[in-house]
Chain A
């Protein structure tokens, strides 16, 4: 089962993910209606994408009084059923990442649905800051880098 892996160290602040997301879901380029947001701070020197992490023990799913959020068995995404949703915004408030958004234009909850298994943000990201990968191997690359660093420092210490 796939997950979105965020590598903030690779984020270049280009906002392409927001454009791709809003185009796929709303058929328009509109960062304000994207299901993720690139946050920037420290005079634009730092940035990272923030979105739904599809938590297994999802707070939004537990708190939704209308039972509008359910699991998509195929992708593992937590989906909002817009016709059941009463727009109380509890899912926005409870999300520990701030990963759900309110669409002021379309008047609905915006939540990542993994684009039915082909997340557009990951395919458009030019620098690998958002990658769609397997849950079990999500952090393999980070592990490899840590191992390489450890190896380099350890060999240096030996000589």
Chain B
């Protein structure tokens, strides 16, 4: 099989039983992978009335057919589950090395069922998988957990894990990986914590072959060189020194005299340059990927990292903490929140869509793609976002590519002839599934 692996892992945490299953060709053709496949698999097996933190609520990790390929920005995977308090269906696409590593290990997706009696982590390596004890990582923050687990597995592996917040079922707990891109505001980390699953570690050496290598390379490289001449112009809000939300974006020609240099990116990122303009106060824009020195990164992202390291979503947790106390020690409050202490929750102004995306981690900024059209206000854009999330591509591509390009890449990668219309139908199928199960 090309593009896809055609296999999934079913891990029953209650019994410790792991099954290696075939993914039907019709299913992956209809739902691609990522968000689409995750929602399909979840809807099929989890009842709408399942308790979000109960054993019946499945937790699904799914990659797309373009995850781990040279298709620009093809490093995404999606987490799907139902989250507290009411069991809303959520899907969050996350960037990082984990998705590609899972595919190289031989699987498109993992379904976690049940609940383990003791803390465990799953180690997936070249077609094999085993549950191991995670007792020694209990209560440990994210960075330390990843370091410990890489030491006892493989230094080339990638880790998706939760921090103390997830273990303590905090409603804004995230699932996070080595890039510190995380699963957004919906509390997927709490579901993972409720299953006593601390981490999923993946590593593989099984290469991904393309159905039509020459054609795939041509399409991918054409798009990559187009991206070299384009800057992603983001309009949005500045939440913090290092945390931005992208409410709107477009691909514009790179401004004259600007060197396309930047310092950080996610797996597979081909974006050469981008700029940010605050949309509220008519403030001046500034370049985002304009080469900030490595030494500044850790400092600038420091506060963002301190939240995510405890397994908390930055935006939600910060809002909760700032409501809790103007005078309290913030670090102390954040730790208390992560440890499961009760805090008053701010009123939620935004429509709380379950479709979320982890931030882009470019040049020392965490940029959340919260493009409103993705909530269904603009159907064409909403469909495109659904397809990008399902194919395994980055949501920031929505400013510059169309369904036709995605169809071209998918056809060359998988050998299944996707027309532009086929891809649009995938998007409609996914939004229908969401409506049925909501």
Contact = CB atoms under 8 A, between A and B. Distances in A.
Interface of A: 9-10, 12-16, 19-20, 22-23, 26-33, 40, 42-46, 104-105, 123-124, 126-128
A32 B156 contact: yes
Nearest to A126: B270
A46 B293 CA distance: 10
Interface in B233-263: 260-263
Given A27-B209, A104-B205, A44 B270 contact: no
Given A15-B267, A31-B104, A46 B294 contact: yes
Nearest to A24: B217
A138 B304 CA distance: 39
Contact of B265 (A12, A28, A30, A42): A12
B269 A14 contact: yes
Interface of chain B, main secondary structure: loop
B69 A26 contact: no
Contact of A29 (B70, B97, B297): B70
Contact-residue size bin, chain B (C-beta under 8 Å from the other chain): 35 or more
B213 interface: yes
B408 interface: no
Interface in B264-289: 264-272
B180 A28 contact: no
B70 A14 contact: no
B156 A43 contact: no
B70 A28 contact: no
B24 interface: no
B206 interface: yes
13 contacts: A12-B263, A12-B265, A13-B265, A14-B75, A14-B266, A23-B213, A26-B207, A28-B207, A43-B143, A44-B179, A46-B294, A105-B205, A123-B221
Given A23-B217, A128-B261, 12 more contacts: A12-B264, A15-B268, A16-B70, A27-B209, A28-B209, A29-B69, A31-B104, A43-B298, A43-B305, A124-B70, A124-B221, A128-B260
A46 B305 CA distance: 16
Contact of A28 (B208, B221, B297): B208
B188 to A, nearest CB: 21
Contacts of A124: 70, 221, 224
Contacts of B297: 45
A15 B100 CA distance: 11
B104 A32 contact: yes
